[in-house]
Amino acid sequence: MANIATIEIDGKKYEFPLVKGSEDEVAIDIKALRSATGGVITLDPGYKNTGSCESAITFLDGEKGILRYRGYSIEELAEKADFLEVAYLLIFGELPSAEKLNKFHSDIKKHSVVDDDVKKILDAFPKSAHPMGVLSSLTSALTAFNPSSVNVESEEEMYNAIVRILGKFPILVAWTMRKKKGLPLYYGDSSLGYVENILKMMFKQPNEEKYEQNPILVNALDKLLILHADHEQNCSTSTVRIVGSSHAGLFASLSAGISALWGPLHGGANQAVLEMLEAIKEDGGDTKKYMAKAKDKNDPFRLMGFGHRVYKNFDPRAKIIKIAADEVLGDLGIEDPILDIAKGLEKEALEDSYFVDRKLYPNVDFYSGIIYRGMGIPTDMFTVMFALGRLPGWIAQWREMRLRKEPIGRPRQMYTGETERKFAPVNKR
């Protein structure tokens, strides 16, 4: 293939370099398009064809259903690695040695406290507040207690900021849930592994002498967090990168990412899936009725947990999660009719030409909520759990963006409004 793309506009030809990624993906480098053509831009709402950056963190091939973090397949990482190792891998590019991993964990533990004033902010929220709103606000509030901006030229400062947020974020997550459940806030147990500590912080009851770890839950949460840890330039990650590109701080960029993740078309889908499955159950379990609604263009209903912007054959994470859902519920001895409805819906959709033709398959969130529910996590906390998993990915992407000295993100637009018109004053009363 020639290394040049030619674009012809009004009979005039312009040449642009083609660039190749390490997996042979091809992109037209149009950095010089506007200046070369005297103002022509590309129009691509939703950035369906636009590469916003070069990145060495995550590779995915939506057609083949491949997802790799730093070259390692998601299947292998989910089976053999733990979440903290994966976090280190994503952020720093290589798997840590045992020594580096120990140091990473102990540095995180040193920062596993939040200022007491954060409790006051949490207390000011009504119990009805959505946990994602609370989490986003508390993450942003951390800037007030850690006001100095990170000098990204200093590896040490960068590292300190990273271990600080990895230490504090699980506390915010656990406190958000405890507040919702009316439980007293609890700081956790530094003798535990990262994921075990998260579970204890979330679930320890006030009168409980000793919190017994359930290895099934630890394993399931570890896996879920790994599967959610990064997903290249999705809506929330692009948000983190674009906010960070103005040199806003790490915590502010993460808080923006949390807000972006909240929506039901993105991370909020896991909550929406469960609510949908509950509604179908309440309505008598008639999956066919809901399939028809999903296909009816006059009905706004969508089959939540189905479809993905990039996966057009299957979502490799969904495959792993479906098996995990079966295992976790089986191991915990839970029989959940919701799981049967989900399986029924999936089977029907996979045989239905509407879904097949549009390449709509279950995504990662179709089954994750069922596991979270089995673990005793309230439905409106599901997206918070997603944020907890995505944290290392957001950090890795923010770090990469700053280290590569990317310019401020500032897209162009095609203006379709009124051309200039004269202001005619009206008589105000």
User: Would you tell me which residues interact with ligand ACO (CB under 6 A)?
Assistant: 265-267, 269, 294, 302-309, 358, 360, 363-365
- Looking at 245-315, list the stretches that DSSP marks H as alpha helix, in order from N- to C-terminal side: 250-262, 269-282, 287-295
CB-closest chain residue to ligand ACO: 307
Closest to 129 measured CA to CA, from 181, 180, 184, 185? 180
The distance of closest approach from Cβ of residue 307 to ligand ACO in the complex, given in angstroms and rounded to an integer, is: 2
Q: Which of 82, 222, 315, 365 is catalytic?
A: 365
53 touches 406 (CB < 8 A) = yes
Q: How far apart are CA 130 and CA 406, in angstroms?
A: 34
Q: How far apart are CA 55 and CA 397, in angstroms?
A: 8
Residue 63: Cβ-neighbour burial (10 angstroms; 0-12, 13-18, 19+): exposed
Identify the H or E element spanning 72: strand 72-73
Q: Which of 82, 308, 315, 380 is catalytic?
A: 308
Q: From residue 286, give the alpha-carbon distance in Å to each of 58, 281, 336.
A: 39, 8, 16
Give the phi and the psi of residue 107 in degrees, each rounded to 5: -65, -40
Question: In terms of CB distance, is 65 or 188 closer to ligand ACO?
Answer: 65
> Helix or strand or coil: residue 68?
strand
Question: In terms of CB distance, is 150 or 318 closer to ligand ACO?
Answer: 318
Q: How far apart are CA 243 and CA 28, in angstroms?
A: 25
| Number of C-beta neighbours around residue 335 at 10 A | 8
Question: In terms of CB distance, is 104 or 382 closer to ligand ACO?
Answer: 382
Question: In terms of CB distance, is 119 or 266 closer to ligand ACO?
Answer: 266
Active site (annotated) includes residue 308: yes
Q: Which two tokens stand for residue 259?
A: 């807000």
Q: Which two tokens stand for residue 28?
A: 């037209």
Question: In terms of CB distance, is 92 or 314 closer to ligand ACO?
Answer: 314
The distance of closest approach from Cβ of residue 199 to ligand ACO in the complex, given in angstroms and rounded to an integer, is: 23
The distance of closest approach from Cβ of residue 385 to ligand ACO in the complex, given in angstroms and rounded to an integer, is: 12
- Active site residue ranges: 308, 365
